[in-house]
Amino acid sequence: MKRSGPVVTLLAGLLLGLFMLSLNATTGTKSASTSYAEESPEAATASPTPTPTPTKTTASSSPSPSRAPIPDADYAGRTTDDSASVAVTLRDGKAIAYYCDGRAKESWLKGDVEEDGTMKLTGKHGAELNGTLKEGKRISGTVDIDGGRYAFTADKAKKPSGLYRATATVRGAKLDGGWIVLPDGRQVGILTRDGEPAQAPRIDPETGAVTVDGQQLTARPVTP
């Protein structure tokens, strides 16, 4: 019995040592976990970051360049068959034209000029002019009148070339005259008395003066 005492004491010491080692191991692991969580809260409560939705962008179309305005100018020329003259006056995007053979056939036509230089002018009795302004230098096209179609080219004209008109009442007769002064100085015109056409007398292109039945009139440049 005296020998069992030391043995029991030794066993008790061993058990106590094992218990303490186990306790230290458990406490160390828990502390390490707690410390990591305290130092890195993101790690303890981390959640996936949402990926931003890409924004759809639409390419803006560049504006089309604006066209230059149609320049104000006068044009005069002849038909392709050389049977008549054609003059066109452009002002502020509008046009007035005169077709004249210098004897009996004539027509006044008017309308708008499109941004691309094309024009469709209309007159009495179904007369029609279709033309295109090319580089501001000339107008080419056709005139439809009295069932016929006449191609023409009218070059840009400088004063005194261009289109003139005079209206008046002389000795009870109603007069209406139209003149085309070509770049080479030639004149083509018709003077109508009470609706009866005839070849027009010459005008002074510098002043527009013209004498009809002994009375002096003034032919003035025509504008739309």
Region 2-23 average pLDDT: 52
pLDDT digits (tens, 9 = 90+) for 26-73: 445 444 444 444 444 444 444 455 555 555 545 445 555 566 789 999
41 vs 60: CA distance, rounded Å:
47
* Beta strand ranges found along the chain (DSSP E): 73-79, 85-91, 94-100, 106-112, 118-123, 128-134, 138-145, 148-157, 162-170, 173-181, 187-193, 196-199, 209-212, 215-218, 220-221
User: Nearest-CA neighbor of 102 among 121, 79, 124?
Assistant: 79
Q: State the pLDDT at residue 36.
A: 40
| Other Cβ atoms closer than 10 A to 74 | 21
Looking at residue 171, the DSSP 8-state letter turns out to be T
pLDDT digits (tens, 9 = 90+) for 79-137: 999 999 999 999 999 999 999 999 999 999 999 999 999 999 999 999 999 999 999 99
Cβ atoms of 120 and 111 within 8 Å: the answer is: yes
Kindly list the distances between the CA atom of residue 105 and the CA atoms of 72, 152, 174, 189, 193, in Å, as whole numbers in the listed order.
27, 16, 18, 10, 14
Q: State the pLDDT at residue 42.
A: 45
